[in-house]
Amino acid sequence: MFYIFADSDGHLASVAENLIEPMEGYTIIETDIVYDYNRIRLVDGSIKELPPLPDSIPYIEESTDRIPTLSKDRIPTLSKDIEMMNAIIGLSEELEKLKGDNK
């Protein structure tokens, strides 16, 4: 597996079965180990597993007076970088399939 991490903060950006072209701002790590995507980060060039979440999270009541509301035009969306990277990964995987069919 190829795990693709953002250089900015080490979060997992994507995963691919086939090698993809390196992209500026991202680090690609190849490993046979299968990780839980929600529990890994890239730290000092190595994949580190985060500790598991607690079974229960204590309930803390907070005032709703300070919670901002979002208008429809401000709802967060996927960043363009991640969308583009996933498109490149898909194209790369399709290219590999085509190369295999031509052998």
Rg (C-alpha) for the chain, rounded Å, is 18
Give per-residue pLDDT as tens, 55-87: 777 777 777 666 666 555 555 555 677 788 888
Give per-residue pLDDT as tens, 35-63: 998 899 999 999 999 887 777 777 777 77
Which pLDDT score, from 0 to 100, does residue 66 have?
A: 66
Which pLDDT score, from 0 to 100, does residue 31 have?
A: 93
pTM of the predicted model as reported, rounded to 2 decimal places: 0.51
Helix (H) or strand (E) holding 40: strand 40-43
Q: Are 28 and 48 in contact (CB under 8 A)?
A: no
Top-confidence residue, 54 or 18: 18
